[in-house]
Structure 1
Amino acid sequence: MTLLLCPHTHVYLNSFSALPLKKISTRKIRNSIRALSTTPSEMEQPMRGQRLMEFPHLLAPHKDLMVGLISAVDKRLHGHLLPSSASVPPDAEYYQNQSGASQGSLCINRGVDSSHIDFILTSWLHLSLPNGGAMDITNIQGYLKSSTDAPHFQFELVQCSPTYFIFFLDLIPRKDLVLHPDYLKTFYEDSRLEALRKQLETQVLEAKPYFSSSLYFRNVVSPTGILVSITCEDGGTTERAEEIIRANIEPIANEVLELWMDSCVCKGGTATIEEDERDQLEKRDRMIKSRAIEMDLSSSMPIQFGQDVADRILGVIRSVFRI
């Protein structure tokens, strides 16, 4: 099972041999990346480590997408967040296995006391596969506190090969949508989420629904969540894959992120949260985080990175998850 740094939802890729994988050539890290707007005081305490922003193994549009999403978070939510260095030590910001074939970078920005944000976790993983290929996983997730019932944010793009990838984008519900129809209406029916899901389905004919083998996972995602696999049959070139990321995935991901920041982070939830409801939200969030560790991370991390590295990274994540 492949390791994905998603605390509550992840794509299950059970058989490496079943995927049309080819070895991804390592790109040279660009000397400069898109600059983020900072003040002198912010430069003294950067919001995240430099290694996160390198994305050294991705297709160019995939890297541009990640840098753009992170820049949007920094611009809109900078006042809500603490620097990643407050939660992630240097030896967890970037890590690799003994051979250096598998690498990862982790950034976690906790929310300030006055913010609805619990934390925003951003990561990339470059994983070596038994057949000599590689898999690249990029992930952004935003968790909110129990001061609001608004959904969490989840973005993940898995580059299984230069022409095959899996895309997951959702606002993860924190209430039962059958028992709370007002919640369904506010965050899903009255938003553009379903229209965006259909837009991708219509515009990208190569996109096929991806069904996780985990029934638990299928129960966690929202009815408007996007979970697709995309295979580009173009003679092994990356042109079509790059076009899809740039022209289709990027605008949809940007719009959903903006929707989450505006409607969930800044406006809050559907009602004032009473103490008993707060307890239920915390219980649900805690169970989702715990299942993520148990189902995937605790078994996959030692296989990919060795026990010492796995213990170090999982220790940081467990501390932030408070489990």
Structure 2
Amino acid sequence: MAVVFPHFPLPSLSSSPSPSPSSSSSFSQPSPRPQFFASSASPMDNSPKKFMDFPFVTAPRRNLMIDLVSTIENRLHSQLKPCTLPSDLQQYYNPSKTSHGSLYIRSGHTSSQVDFMLGSWLHCELPTGGAVDITSLSAYLNASTDAPNFLIELIQNSPTSLVLILDLPPRKDPVLYPEYLQTFYENTRLESLRQTLEKLPEVRPYYSSALYIRCLTSPTSIMIRINTEGTEGDGPGRMEEIIKDHIDPVAKEALGIWLDQCACGNRNVDEAEKAYLEKRDGLVRNKTIEIDIGSSFPRLFGPDVANRILEVIREAFSG
């Protein structure tokens, strides 16, 4: 799930404004699907129809998220169980329908290194007009390997402003384990991917206000803010261009690195290391829930919906 709620002005349940015209016009209708970039693009029988709609974002962003989810599922299909969430959690909203969300979870089989994958999107209208739209995808490995997890998140609060978080968060301290640093961060192209995006004139670094979140990121993490307001030509159009031509290929390459080196790699982990990983993973996941959705979801969706969402996420996090 998103780890950004404390940093954006989300609405209260009592507000029910209509989106501003500039915000509404940026949401294009679904476009024909491009070819998946995965090696096998056949449709999955348990395809997440509601989650994969991504109804509130532009076509380039929708296509990117669909491709990322489909690539993980096609590559790891034999390792993942079907999504068993009820339909009212795969897509939900508050009573005034000013906040909408979708949740998608697939757990890994016991024989797999994959613990679970989690996808979500949120659309929250703001009292001042406009909306915040968050799309995220994360994949977690279990204690049979110490390889990093995968995370991508796009947070947009206007057609010309976007925050991108893309990372392979480490599960061991790279300072204490230099081989870990070399294997997953020095020997991969992750640093060059970060530099590629930071060269764009519209890009500035993004710093989370939560120091705890900063502690969890890798040395090659991509945390940037993109602002196309005032650029030559159409600001929203330039944003779509950046997503399609720059973020899309970088995100897909980062996911490919994670699939090859982490999800499908072989790491020897002894019992002491497994115990360490289980303890660390548990602490990180519990803190993530606390910072991320523990306080925001009841305010956005009401206690009943929020409690059900929290329950299924805690169940996934606890294995």
TM-score with structure 2 setting the length: 0.89
CA distance in structure 2 between the aligned counterparts of 1:210 and 1:182, rounded to whole angstroms: 28
CA distance in structure 1 between the aligned counterparts of 2:35 and 2:307, rounded to whole angstroms: 33
Task: Mark the CA change 1:10 to 1:274 in structure 2 (over 3 Å): closer, same or farther.
Answer: farther
The one-letter amino acid of 2:216's match is V
CA distance in structure 1 between the aligned counterparts of 2:276 and 2:144, rounded to whole angstroms: 12
Say yes or no: does 1:218 pair with 2:217. Answer: no
Superposed, 1:71-150 pairs within 5 Å as: 71-85=70-84, 88-150=85-147
Could you give the per-residue CA deviations for residues 96-140 of structure 1, whole angstroms, max 9, x where no partner exists? Answer: 000112111110011112210000001111111121211110001
Say yes or no: does 1:259 pair with 2:257. Answer: yes
CA distance in structure 2 between the aligned counterparts of 1:32 and 1:246, rounded to whole angstroms: 15
Shift of 1:296: 2.6
After superposing on structure 2, the runs of 4+ consecutive aligned residues of structure 1 that deviate more than 3 Å are: 9-12, 14-17, 26-39, 234-237
**What's the secondary structure of 1:105's corresponding residue?**
strand
Over the aligned positions, Cα root-mean-square deviation in angstroms equals 2.2
Say yes or no: does 1:274 pair with 2:270. Answer: yes
**What's the secondary structure of 1:100's corresponding residue?**
coil
Identify the residue that residue 53 of structure 1 maps to in structure 2: 52
Counterpart selection for 2:183 from 175, 183, 186: 186
Task: Mark the CA change 1:309 to 1:16 in structure 2 (over 3 Å): closer, same or farther.
Answer: closer
CA contact (8 A) 2:117 2:138 kept: yes
TM-score with structure 1 setting the length: 0.88
Could you give the per-residue CA deviations for residues 29-78 of structure 1, whole angstroms, max 9, x where no partner exists? Answer: 54975688447xx53xx1x4311111111011111111111121122111
Identify unmatched segments of 5+ residues in structure 1.
none
Task: Mark the CA change 1:147 to 1:206 in structure 2 (over 3 Å): closer, same or farther.
Answer: same
CA distance in structure 2 between the aligned counterparts of 1:185 and 1:260, rounded to whole angstroms: 14
CA contact (8 A) 1:29 1:54 kept: no
CA distance in structure 1 between the aligned counterparts of 2:60 and 2:92, rounded to whole angstroms: 24
**What's the secondary structure of 2:81's corresponding residue?**
coil
The one-letter amino acid of 1:113's match is T
The one-letter amino acid of 2:109's match is V
CA contact (8 A) 2:134 2:153 kept: yes
CA contact (8 A) 1:10 1:217 kept: no
The one-letter amino acid of 1:13's match is H
The one-letter amino acid of 1:209's match is P
CA contact (8 A) 2:6 2:292 kept: no
CA contact (8 A) 2:29 2:58 kept: no
Task: Mark the CA change 1:322 to 1:237 in structure 2 (over 3 Å): closer, same or farther.
Answer: same
CA distance in structure 1 between the aligned counterparts of 2:222 and 2:277, rounded to whole angstroms: 24
Could you give the per-residue CA deviations for residues 126-180 of structure 1, whole angstroms, max 9, x where no partner exists? Answer: 1111212111100010100100000000000112111100000000000011110
CA distance in structure 2 between the aligned counterparts of 1:207 and 1:82, rounded to whole angstroms: 38
Say yes or no: does 1:229 pair with 2:225. Answer: yes
CA distance in structure 2 between the aligned counterparts of 1:199 and 1:118, rounded to whole angstroms: 31
Task: Mark the CA change 1:209 to 1:160 in structure 2 (over 3 Å): closer, same or farther.
Answer: same
CA distance in structure 2 between the aligned counterparts of 1:250 and 1:196, rounded to whole angstroms: 11
CA distance in structure 1 between the aligned counterparts of 2:90 and 2:130, rounded to whole angstroms: 24
CA contact (8 A) 1:103 1:125 kept: yes
Task: Mark the CA change 1:259 to 1:35 in structure 2 (over 3 Å): closer, same or farther.
Answer: closer
Identify the residue that residue 150 of structure 2 maps to in structure 1: 153
| Range with greater deviation from structure 2 (146-155 or 121-130) | 121-130
Shift of 1:231: 0.5
**What's the secondary structure of 2:220's corresponding residue?**
coil
Task: Mark the CA change 1:301 to 1:16 in structure 2 (over 3 Å): closer, same or farther.
Answer: closer
Task: Mark the CA change 1:11 to 1:176 in structure 2 (over 3 Å): closer, same or farther.
Answer: farther
CA contact (8 A) 2:164 2:223 kept: yes
Could you give the per-residue CA deviations for residues 176-234 of structure 1, whole angstroms, max 9, x where no partner exists? Answer: 111100000000011101111111111x1111001111111111100100000000024
Percent identical residues: 44
CA contact (8 A) 2:160 2:227 kept: yes
Shift of 1:236: 6.3
Shift of 1:80: 1.3
CA contact (8 A) 1:164 1:230 kept: yes
CA contact (8 A) 2:29 2:59 kept: no
**What's the secondary structure of 2:171's corresponding residue?**
coil
Task: Mark the CA change 1:16 to 1:205 in structure 2 (over 3 Å): closer, same or farther.
Answer: farther
Shift of 1:295: 1.6
Shift of 1:12: 4.5
Superposed, 1:27-38 pairs within 5 Å as: 27=27, 30=30, 37-38=41-42
CA distance in structure 1 between the aligned counterparts of 2:204 and 2:292, rounded to whole angstroms: 24
Task: Mark the CA change 1:31 to 1:175 in structure 2 (over 3 Å): closer, same or farther.
Answer: closer
Shift of 1:89: 1.9
